[in-house]
Structures are given as structure tokens and as C-alpha cells.
Amino acid sequence: MGTGYQRILLKLSGEALMGDLGYGIDPQVVQEIASEVAEVVSTGVQVAIVVGGGNIFRGVKGAARGMDRATADYIGMIATVMNAMTLQDALEQINVPTRVQSAIAMQEVAEPYIRRRAIRHLEKGRVVIFGAGSGNPFFTTDTTAALRAAEINADVIFKATKVDGIYDSDPHVNPQARRYHSLNYTHVLTQDLRVMDSTAIALCKENNIPIIVFDLGVRGNIRRAVTGEQIGTIVGG
């Protein structure tokens, strides 16, 4: 294994689980993600996952329709727990021991978030899925990914998305758009490149956590990123 990534934090957006459905969860897509995760776990890499909830509910959207923002955000956080449990199920079906830790107490379905316990699970080869975001409204699961990555000392954040990296302009609009191989945090922040929200980027910058942005739709990409193959865009110092 080339790079020496021992512990990764994989950020999966809610949309990543949605496939082409437009809403909710596509079980086929979840199975594919689970099998890719299983593949890297079997090589001894420790995998923690932060999953989003945008395939089910987004706080800002609820607020735009007149809901109280904080309440809407709590609903969004609860949505992420549904995604976390779905992923856990898919992973355990293929014999990957997995724990869900929720930042909002839900003791019947998930462990509470306990940092040291999460680390212990990882050391034992279990996948840990962090649900309910940071537990705080007005935050995102991208920021949660940066926070948890710092807390568990992850070597890297894998931001698996629907595009194959970061471009200098929108490739759907501009056919001349160019993809960056690497970028520094400050560039991402000042150019407002919207890889992750600025709070998440700032946290990564402060803690020196590299972010690799790549397309989850290409099979084998998680393994490729772990082995240090150059895919997507890497954001670092």
C-alpha cells in the first residue's frame, strides 16, 4: 500500500446513496458503496464514515419553506441517522462489523458519540459511521467530517461526490473547464470553490487534514484513493 493512509474519514453525501432516484435511498447503490468499503477494510485500513442527509431532508430547504431553521436542522440530522443505519445494514450483510455513533441520543438504534470508543472500534477493524452530524443545528455534515477527522486523527478525508474533482469553473456549463490536480486550502477558500463549506475547509486547514475529492460513481475509486493513485483533486497545505 503506497501512501500509508491508515485511517480515513469517508464523507458520503446523502445524494451519494440516492443514485438516480431523486429522493431517498437506492439499495443497489448502497450495496456497491458497502462492497468498496469492505474491500479497503480487508486490507487493514481503518474506515470512519460521516454520512449526510440531503437525500431525505435539508435544514435550509425546510427553513426556506417557513420552518424554524434549528428545528429543520434537527430533522436533517435525524435523516442522516437513517442513512447511517442503512449503510450499517449493508456493511454487516457482507460481514463488515460496523457501529453507528449518533451525535443525538438514540440509544435504541445507535451508540452515543464517544470519541475514545470510536477510536477503539476503528483499532479493532470495525467501521464507525457517525450519524446526526455534529449534533448542532446551523452546521453541515461536511463540517462534521472535518471535526470528526480531527478528533479521531484521521490521515485524510475522502470527499466522495458526483464529480471527479474540483474545476476552475462549472464543467456542466463550461466545456473548457479545467480540473485541478491539487489545490491549497486558501485557494479553495478565497476562490469560493465550494468543495465543502468554508467552515469545513477552515477546520481542515487548521488541523492539516488533506481532502481528496473524487467521483464515487467510478467503481474502485475508494481503493484507488487509499492506495495513493492520483484521482480527483487533493486539497492540502
Specify the stretch interacting with ligand UDP by CB under 6 A; choose among 137-145, 177-185, 214-222, 228-236: 137-145
The string of DSSP codes covering 132-169 is STTS-TT--HHHHHHHHHHHTT-SEEEEEESSSS-BSS
Q: How far is the CB of 194 from ligand UDP (least distance, A)?
A: 12
Q: Is 19 annotated for ligand binding?
A: no
Residue 173: enclosing H or E segment and its boundaries?
Answer: none
List the beta bridge partners of residue 151: none
Q: How far is the CB of 234 from ligand UDP (least distance, A)?
A: 20
Q: Is 221 annotated for ligand binding?
A: no
Distance between CA atoms of 78 and 55, rounded to whole angstroms? 12
In this structure, are residues 148 and 130 in contact, taking their beta carbons and an 8 Å threshold?
A: yes
> Does 141 help bind ligand UDP (rule: CB under 6 A)?
yes
> Does 101 help bind ligand UDP (rule: CB under 6 A)?
no
> Does 14 help bind ligand UDP (rule: CB under 6 A)?
yes
CA distances to 56, 96, 136, 196, 229 from 200, rounded to whole Å, are 22, 29, 14, 6, 24
Chosen residue from 98, 102, 134, 233 binding ligand UDP by CB under 6 A:
134
Grid coordinates representing 151?
478528533
Q: How far is the CB of 24 from ligand UDP (least distance, A)?
A: 12
Q: How far is the CB of 90 from ligand UDP (least distance, A)?
A: 17
Q: Which residues bind ligand UDP (CB under 6 A)?
A: 13-15, 52-54, 58-60, 73, 76-77, 80, 133-134, 136-137, 139-142, 144
State the binding site for UMP: 53, 73, 134-141
